Amino acid sequence: MRTPLFVVSLFTFGRVAATAFGFNPEQYDFFESKIRPVLAESCYDCHNSVNKKKAGLALDYRDAILAGSENGSVIEPGNPEDSPLIWAIRHEDTEMPADGPKLSDAVIKDFENWIAMGAPDPRDKKPTQLDLDNAVSWETLLEKRRQWWSFQPLERVRPPRVEDTEWNQSPIDRFILPAFDEKGLTPQAKAEPGTLVRRLHLILTGLPPSADTVKRFIADPSEDAYQQIVDDLLASDAFGERWGRHWMDWYRYADSHGSEGDPDLPYASAYRDYIIRALNDDVPYDQLIREHIAGDLIRKPRLNQQLGINESAIGPAHFRMIPHGFGVTDAYQEQIVNTENQIDVISKAILGVTVSCARCHNHKFDPISQADFYRLYGVMISNRPGTRNIDTLEKQNLNKRDLEKIKRRIRSSIADYWMANLDKAMENLAAFDFQVTEEEAALIADLKKRANRRKKTLPEDPTALERLYLKQELQQVGEYHPLAPLAFWAEKSDQELTEAWKQQLANYEQELLEVEAAKHDATYYADLRDQKTLDSWYVEGNGPGPKVSPAGVFAVATEGVRAIAGIYPAGVYSHLLSDKHNGTLASPYHTAEGDWSYMRAIGKNGAIRMSARNYPLEQGLHPYTLANNGFMQWFPLQKYKFWNDDRVHYQISTAADKPVKHLEGRSWFGVTEVVGGDAEIKELGTPLFTVLDNEPRIAGKASLLEAYRQGLKESIVAWKRGRSTDAQAQYLSAFVRYNLLPNRIDSLPATLAPLIAGYRALESAIPFPTRAPALLEGDVIDQPLLVRGEYKKAAEPVRRQFLEVFDSRPYSPRHSGRLELAEDIISSENTLKSRVIVNRLWHYVFGKGIVSTTDNFGRLGKEPTHPELLDYLALDFEKQDWSIKTALRQMVLSRAFRSGSGATEASEELDPNNEYLSYFQPRRLEAESIMDSVSSMAGEDFQRAVYAKTKRNQLDPFLAAFNLPIPTTTNGVRDSTNVPAQALTMLNSDFTKNAAKDWARRTLEERPNASAQSLIESLYWEAYARRPSESEFAKLTSYYKSIEDTDTAVERIAFALLNSKEFIYVY
Amino acid sequence: MSIEPLNRREFLRLTSKGIGGLALSSLINSASAKSGYLPQPHHPARAKSVIFLYMSGGVSHVDSFDPKPMLRELHGKPMPMHVERTQFDDVGNILGSFWDSKPYGKSGIELTNLFPHIAQQVDKLTVVRSMTAKFSEHAQGNFFMHTGFPFLGYPSAGAWVNYGLGTENPNLPGFVVLQSAGSKTPHGGVSLFGNAFLPATTQGSIFNISGDRAVPHIEPGMMKQEQRQALDLINSLDLGFADRVAAKDAIASSVENAETAYLMQEAVPELTNISGESEKTLEMYGVNDPIAQMDEYARQCLMARRLVERGVRFVELSCCSHGIGGGGGGNPWDQHGDIQKGHGTMAKQVDQPIAALLEDLDQRGLLDETLVVFTGEFGRNPFSQSSFSKDIGRDHNPQGFSLWMAGGGAKRGHVYGATDEFGYHAVEEISNVYELWATVLHLMGIDHEKLTFQYGGRNLRLSDVHGRVWKDIIA
């Protein structure tokens, strides 16, 4: 059945000079320019002769194409109408390309012409894999794909001239009206005033209007009155609660991470409240986008003086709303998934394109390369998940300077006081009974358990408590605690004591060498007593300063009976002024190598961890350790060996800043060193001799006590002068913390007591930080491109930058690039962002976007029904200072918005999807709006649904029944399904039953002794913003009369109205 | 070339020929089912329904369907090969099985005596011994096994099947998840049964069959007569509303839903009422067994048969927890410690009921058109978890494990694939979840590469971009 080629070509194109195959160069050019690129881009993937030959068909060289598929020939050269290939691309028979959009009519025509020519095809050799890979260069595809409408610059088009006086007031209407004539559509008349008021309220605030508001407008339905309602609604708090909920859909807002245990994301609601405030304040959209990407980094943040917070810094919180996997064994794989989610959300929400599609290969249809994905990937992973103090700097630094001043005076005075009490201290020491009683032993054992598992009550008497804590500390620190000789050698004779001292000295020297060797041989070592090290770490919060603190720094006790909380060796501390201050201190990355790692730390609920690939949650392979100690200690970091060869970092933070399972309240930490390697490190503590200048002769208990006295004296003197050694600081701290040196507030002399009281007064004025989920900047990483998305196949690192279709300047190597990304996104080069947002607004106002696929403006999305209007709105939006309220105001003031919601038969016939807006699109309300409507009938005080916690694994069942999605990614169009579960919920749930009861009771209270007619009318005004029709009235009256008592009758009618469709529709 | 339901508007036009003219039916989460609309399968189907016996927590394959004598020989010795990262980072020595093995049935397939009743049915099974998963943690494993992706946001296999084939019975949802008082949703949560981006009508409806309210809000809020009156009033208000606005079809369809809901209030209790089943049947399944969990699981198995009989496409069963060795509510098979007791007790719970289900389906001629799939999210390691409960439990093993299928066009008495001699890694016909679902869809007449849904700019599939059909296991 196949006609020989040359016959066809001679027959069809006999008038042109023929080549060997009967084709001339122009015909081959035609193939090269029109046919080959399409075959390569749209067909080779599935139909090639190298790795995939679907249906036995390869289209990648001449002989293959002529050989056809397992079902026979696919082209009949010279005869397009008989060529199955043509049928397929026309979607007449099968539909090809299978996974892509239909080819354009022009391309189909090219194929028809090509076959009519006789299918000239110079591809005479079977291609190799390399040939296929290079079949179409990315540059060619990029150039072609950027021609898609949404990547084209916005066009400034003047609204058409329109004569109709109703439709020529707003540019929106002037763009809409002409299509009516073209399509033969007649727009609906304006809706009734009551309907319009209700429509405005539901769309702008998500709540039905009060009967009074409705009646007022019906009495005066003037343009001024209409505009006044619009302005009032836009100015109401309810506006932000309504539109904030839409916004939350775009950023997959959630209060938990999902998966096993569904752990909470602390402070997620800060983001929700931020969005609601921002929309109510009409913060310009470009500013909000800037804040969403890099609000924590912008130079002039938006401050909220009333709340005392930096609003802008909350913006990036959405990056933390990732659905996380649980206790992952492969942290890199998890990070890829997380990062893909972050990229997916910002690219869909802001740009309306799916960059995450390009993880494994260049985008199939859009001008987005695989490199683009890894460009953004680098920007994302150059940050770490964390918690941020969002207070204004003023609030963060409140009283800091005054506290510092007082502290200097405290140090000097209390040093003198202690010096004067040296004898007392020695008496206390000599008299201290180090024997651990049975009860104390039991308490110490109990303290080892997690806080929520402890069974015993600690003694209330501060002296008893101190005794207990000292004995606990001695057990923890062991023989090298400065007081260990007194505690552990009490039974020794003088001679034994002398021996033990010598032995300890020798052991210590040996072990010190071992520890030093371990540090030397470590695969990772960080000395945070060294400013250079700290400079390479990452610090967040108002607690830890940028400088390493010298030995002898101390903290004033902010509560309790003690004056001084502790005196510390050199290091980094979060609480030197207040343990309400917060902080997160994190190391650069390194590759875990070796069996052990440790952080030398101190603190109160100081949350220590080693994190693999920034995984933030806390589970078996990802443990946190809480530092609760008064004496610097090495904390082993569990699972170091497990995570060998992976990218890890160390971190310590105040307990409320833990990104999961956070603990509120006072918390602090201090750190001196971190080490990772093969050696197990022994706790070396601060034995007595480390504070003594000359090696003393210890010949018994008396000389031992004398050595203590000597050490103490020297430690106090050095401390007063600010010249403590680490050992002296720890040594002195032991005397102070256990009140061996007098440290009780109530015993302080008159010179000191007011200083401490003054300090505490200033400290108590410091607020606990306001926090939000955040990204904290970390090491800057250019992510290697992963070949075919497989993470074990890393190619070259890709420099961070914006999508190449818009900009190809690489970002600075000094920062993550979030700031640059934010500016690139809102720059004029980006053709998507304003189109996407005005289209989103349009969607919620008119029921469907001008681009109906609000989250996809790419090749697989729908094209705009009114492209010129869309560009007009987008440009106008930017001109009006990116004001969402202005844009919405313009939309709801349009004539198109005010049309009635009935449809003529003609419009249903000619425009079944109402794309041209000849009537207002009636539609079911969103879940939250239904819930709020029901609640508002029951009474005025209720919490709006937007404030319900969004636990991914336990969505509110009412909201879920009405299509609240489980938040995983951007969702710009809520489903509006119609399932019996909804009817069951409305019919049988206590929520609606009780609302009907409350509504009925309220109605009866407001209208005592009212007639049935008056009661029914009242319910109608509230539910529907209208009077009942005569037939409705007749039905309801007879229903009313069929029920014996009035209360029940009103309740039943209220119930029926809540269950009616009109109640849950905006129309 | 995806099987797409008709354009919704057209579809509603077809279905709502006026409220009065429609037969009212009872279904729970399905509106579209009403039309009896069934997309055409890609090829002739072998199976109409799937019963998914999900063994949440992970059954030890080396103690059940893939016995390894080598483990007893080397019991107590360290693993002589590289050991992969484990969930608990707690690797002990080789642990021989507590259960004896021998060949069963005519097919002579070697099994242990952990599931003695199922072993008697071995000639009905295809055992796949070379399954692998990518995740060694429950939630990710569960998502992976249910949806082909390791996290929420993707449709469950049951939803895909319903999207592809529609339900045969408009009176019931096409995807039912059975739970009992003693069972909980596996780790990962209810989105394991979710429709994600597919139409809501395809989502799994959870029937908790222990009480008298299998479905939330199924109990009428008022007396029947009163409710009827209220519903009549509501319907007439709605009809009036439908006349006034351009959403007639949507409103009409939601009026139907209210009627459906009304009838469901009786239909669901009728479905879950098993008093018409014979004493012999109840006994065969183990209904009323003194062990509460076994009684509950037996009822689920019986209910699965009743649902399949009524044309439900996909039924998932949920094991009940005995709280042994780490096996909590969501993951009852998860015996990190005391696996002898834990697996023994769990096996006792499901063994007789599942064997009875196979037998019952077969006797009624239903097994040929019902595909029964038995699997967990992963298997368990051939070595012990050293510090957990005296060396007698096993950590998760996604590198190789077993599942089995029965009926619905699968070969009878067949083994596919193999693990190494330790049961540690799959080594022959290495298989995965994409292949499982590609095969299940294939047996249901669906080409897994053609069952797609365009979402977020991609044509998404249950088998993602992977998968091939296990041709060798098809009868």
pLDDT digits (tens, 9 = 90+) for B444-457: 999 999 899 887 66
Of A258, A957, A1057, the CB nearest to B216: A957
- pLDDT score, position B54: 98
Band (A923; pLDDT cuts 50, 70, 90): very high
Chain segment B179-237, per-residue pLDDT in tens: 999 899 999 888 899 988 888 778 888 899 987 678 888 888 888 899 999 999 999 99
* Residue in B28, B245, B257 nearest the CB of A902: B245
Nearest to A980 among B27, B153, B244 (CB): B27
Q: Flag whether pLDDT at A264 surpasses 90.
A: yes
Residue B21 has pLDDT above 80, yes or no: no
> How far away is chain B from the Cα of A878, in angstroms, using its nearest Cα?
27
Tell me the torsion sign for CA atoms A1031, A1032, A1037, A1039.
Answer: positive
> Do residue A912 and residue B9 have CB atoms under 8 angstroms apart?
yes
Q: Which residues contact B280 (CB under 8 A, 6 or more apart)?
A: none
Please give the distance of CA A74 from its chain centroid, rounded to a whole number: 51
Tokens of A655: 């307990």
Is B22 a residue whose pLDDT tops 50? no
Task: Report the chain A residue with the minimal C-alpha distance to residue B247.
Answer: A922
On chain A, the residues whose CB falls within 8 A of the CB of B219 are 988
What tens digit of pLDDT does each residue of A452-461 get? 888 999 999 9
Average pLDDT taken over every residue of chain B: 87
- The dihedral over CA atoms of B171, B177, B183, B185, expressed in degrees to the nearest 10, equals -130
pLDDT for the residue B48: 95
Nearest 5°: phi and psi at A567?
Answer: -125, 135
Quote the CA–CA distance of A555 and A566 in Å, as a whole number.
Answer: 6
Rounded Cα distance between A296 and A311, Å, is 9
Which chain B residues in 51-70 lie under 8 Å from chain A, judged by CB atoms? none
Question: Distance of CA A958 to CAs A377, A837, A986, A1062, B234, Å?
Answer: 37, 29, 9, 18, 20
CA distances from A953 to A61, B188, B192, B327 (A): 52, 7, 10, 20
Query: For residue A819, what is the DSSP state?
Result: H
Distance, in Å, from the CA atom of B50 to the CA atom of B164, rounded to the nearest integer, reads: 13
Q: Looking at beta carbons, which residues of chain B come within 8 Å of A903?
A: 246
Residue A259, pLDDT score: 85
Task: Give me the pLDDT at residue B388, please.
Answer: 53
Which member of A621, A639, A977 has the closest CB to residue B200?
A: A977
Residue A260 has its nearest CB partner, among B1, B139, B261, at B139
DSSP letter at A39?
I
The pLDDT of residue A7 is 37
| CB neighbour class for A139 (10 Å; exposed up to 12, middle 13-18, buried from 19) | exposed
Contact between residue A381 and residue A578 where contact means Cβ atoms under 8 Å apart: no
Q: Do B264 and A325 touch (CB under 8 A)?
A: no
pTM of the entire predicted model: 0.88
Q: What is the mean pLDDT of residues A39-53?
A: 87
Instruction: Return the DSSP state at B419.
Output: E
Which amino acid is it at A351?
A: L
The residue of chain B with its CA nearest to that of A912 is B9
Tell me the three state secondary structure of residue A1001: helix
> Which of A725, A747, A692 minimizes the C-alpha distance to A420?
A747
Among A1028-1042, B28-42, B275-289, the least confident range: B28-42
With cut-offs at 50, 70 and 90, classify the pLDDT of residue B289. Answer: very high
Q: Which residues of B touch A982 (CB under 8 A)?
A: 254, 257
Q: CB pairs below 8 Å between A and B: how many?
A: 238
B187–A258 C-beta distance less than 8 A? no
Tokens matching residue A365: 């249809």
Of A65-74, A627-636, A850-859, minimum mean pLDDT range: A65-74
For residue B126, how many C-alpha atoms fall within 13 Å in the half-sphere facing its CB? 25
Residue range A1012-1038: mean pLDDT, rounded: 96
Q: Are A680 and A671 in contact (CB under 8 A)?
A: no
> Average pLDDT, whole number, for chain A?
93
Assess B398–A contact: CB distance below 8 Å, yes or no: no
- Whether chain A has a CB inside 8 Å of the CB on B458: the answer is yes
Contact call for residues B262 and B229 (beta carbons, < 8 A): no
Is B253 part of the contact surface with chain A (CB cutoff 8 Å)?
yes
Please give the pLDDT value at position B391: 64
Residue B302, pLDDT > 80, answer yes
Q: Confidence class of residue B267 from pLDDT cuts 50, 70 and 90?
A: confident
CA A271 vs CA A255, A291, A317, B31, B162: distances in Å? 10, 11, 6, 37, 38
Structure confidence at residue A743 (pLDDT): 96
Does the beta-carbon distance from A980 to B330 stay under 8 Å?
Answer: no
pLDDT above 80 for A8: no
Distance separating alpha carbons of residues A810 and A824, to the nearest angstrom = 11
Q: For position B39, what pLDDT does the model report?
A: 63
Of the candidates A327, A1029, A1042, the beta carbon closest to that of B137 is on A327
β-bridge pairing B370-375 and B49-54: parallel
pLDDT tens, residue by residue, B149-175 = 988 889 999 999 999 988 777 667 889
Is this prediction's ipTM beyond 0.90? no
Mean pLDDT of A606-632: 94
Tokens of A564: 């001084």
What does the pLDDT look like over A742-795, one tens digit per residue?
Answer: 999 999 999 899 999 999 999 999 999 999 999 999 999 999 999 888 888 999
Q: What spatial distance separates the first Cα and last Cα of chain B, rounded to whole Å?
A: 28
Interface test with B, best of A637, A976, A987 (most B CBs within 10 A): A987
Q: Give yes or no for a contact between B123 and B162, defined as CB atoms under 8 angstroms apart.
A: no
Helices (H), ranges, A355-399: 370-381, 393-396
Q: Which of A333, A966, A980 sits opposite B264 (nearest CB)?
A: A980
All residues at 6 or more sequence positions from A731 whose CB lies less than 8 Å from its CB, including other chains: A482, A686, A688, A690, A691, A711, A712, A715
Q: Does B456 touch chain A (CB under 8 A)?
A: yes
Give the three-state DSSP class for B207. Answer: strand
Condensed to tens digits (0 to 9), the pLDDT of residues A155-185 reads 999 999 999 999 999 999 999 999 999 999 9
Residue in A823, A833, A834, A830 with CA at minimum distance from that of residue A805: A830
Q: Round to whole Å and give the CA distance between A486 and A429.
A: 9
Residue B328 pLDDT? 84
Contact list in B for residue A979 (CB cut-off 8 A) is 28-31, 200-201, 257
CA distance A473 to A566: 14
- Is residue A312 pLDDT above 60, yes or no? yes
Nearest CA in chain A to B265: A984
Q: In this complex, do A353 and B457 lie within 8 Å of one another by their Cβ atoms?
A: yes
Q: Which of A368-377, B24-33, B111-120, B368-377 has the lowest mean pLDDT?
A: B24-33
Q: How far is A62 from chain B (nearest CA, A)?
A: 27
* Residues of chain B contacting residue A914, judged by C-beta atoms under 8 Å apart: 246
Contacts of B189 in chain A (CB under 8 A): 258-259, 262, 952-954
B88 and B336 Cβ atoms separated by less than 8 Å: yes
Name the minimum distance, in Å, from the CA of A423 to any CA of chain B. 52
Q: How confident is the model at residue B13 (pLDDT cuts 50, 70, 90)?
A: very low
Structure tokens belonging to residue A291: 């804040």
Q: Tell me: pLDDT of B458 over 90.
A: no
pLDDT of amino acid B457: 67
